[in-house]
Structure 1
Amino acid sequence: MKIEKSISCIVIALLLQCTYGVHYYDYHDYELEQPIVISERIGETIDPEEREQYDLFPGIENFTSATFYVPSTIGYAVEIVIEDKKYISVNREPMAVEILCDFFEKYEYTEKFREEFETEWAVVTHDDIGFPITQDEIDAMRHPTRVLLLGATGGCLLGIIPGALIGLAIGFSVEHFGELAVVYAGPGALIGGGLLAVIGASTARSIDKNNALEDIKESRRLREIK
């Protein structure tokens, strides 16, 4: 059964990759319209001192400045200058501006503030530049109905034949190769198919969540402006 479970997980994972061939958040499809002030506490441009004060953009060396823009769609774009090069990160979360505004307006350099802020906005993790990714954003990227059907169907199909064979083997053992032995194949197929359908659906949900999260991170990845 462990082998069957492993095979079903692999097959379902491969099938689910087909549903993520196109990113929902197309990071190429935007135009910067005008700079915006996320909060009066930081103004239009974040300088190195403000970056240190608010503990922003972890891991970025030689930071010079950051400016937020209104893209042609929802969310925001942040242009980060590192030495003499410019980079852009686009965030398409509908509540992105409100989340950042709330962060700056309520900011305190304490662990308690971080915990309360992340709980309030259901922050799951952070992107490559340290900005929050919320559960709502992940849920918006998921394909729950299609994924569950695909996972359950794939698992069921993978479990029917092994289940029938196991049932048949049990039937031959119990009935001593009598005519009724084949009757055991039916329940075996149902049990095998049902069991792997549950495993398939559970596996699909997990893969769906991970794929949605990776799509969000990829869409927000810092890209150099040529």
Structure 2
Amino acid sequence: MMNGLRYFLATVAFMALASSFVSAYDPSPLQAFCVALDGSKNDVFVNGKFCKNPKLVNADDFFFTGLNIPRNTSNAVGSNVTLINVDMIPGLNTLGISFARIDYAPNGLNPPHTHPRASEILMCAEGTLMVGSVTSNPNNQLFTKILHLGDLFVFPIGLIHFQFNMGETHAVAFSGLGSHNPSLIVMASALFGSDPPISIEVLEKAFQVDKNVIKELLMAQFMGK
């Protein structure tokens, strides 16, 4: 009971922190809100979404439920990201924030990836996570820490970053991101799972490995889809 209460309080505190301190990268809105709506000829187009008539906006446009429910991590990497962006909460449109729950199986990995439009602040809510991000060329410096319950780590916008569950039990993290649609580029999928595929010769030269290694990586990515 006490652990459950601590988990709940930590989550609420982090959500308040994320909503207050995540710096918006998206353009600042010129109105209090612009609830997203599927387009029609009578709507106003703003930064990728149409605005719902303010007179028709209601509380459900700013509401989502269910982030307390564990997600299925039975996949190749052993993790599951539930991103709550403008597509999930229409009221996030133009506000410059989104939120995510990440579930990790034992030894589960949220693989190296980037968010082109958002910085991210992540809180470990359960388990033990190794997290890290890598700076851009020419240094490619790795910043890494081990996170326990209540620990936070920041991933600057655009940098490659990851999380790995070091424990033998399920782990959970929550993160706030500085965009209503932060986007996602997973390194392995982008390089070895593009459609059409990147030339083997290009990948062979880029990674300085034998082409047979590249073929195996391409096949592994294909089988993982």
Q: Which has the greater radius of gyration?
A: 1
- TM-score bracket, normalised by the shorter chain, equals under 0.3
- The alignment's TM-score, normalised by the length of structure 2, stands at 0.21
- The alignment's TM-score, normalised by the length of structure 1, stands at 0.21
More helix by share: 1
More strand by share: 2
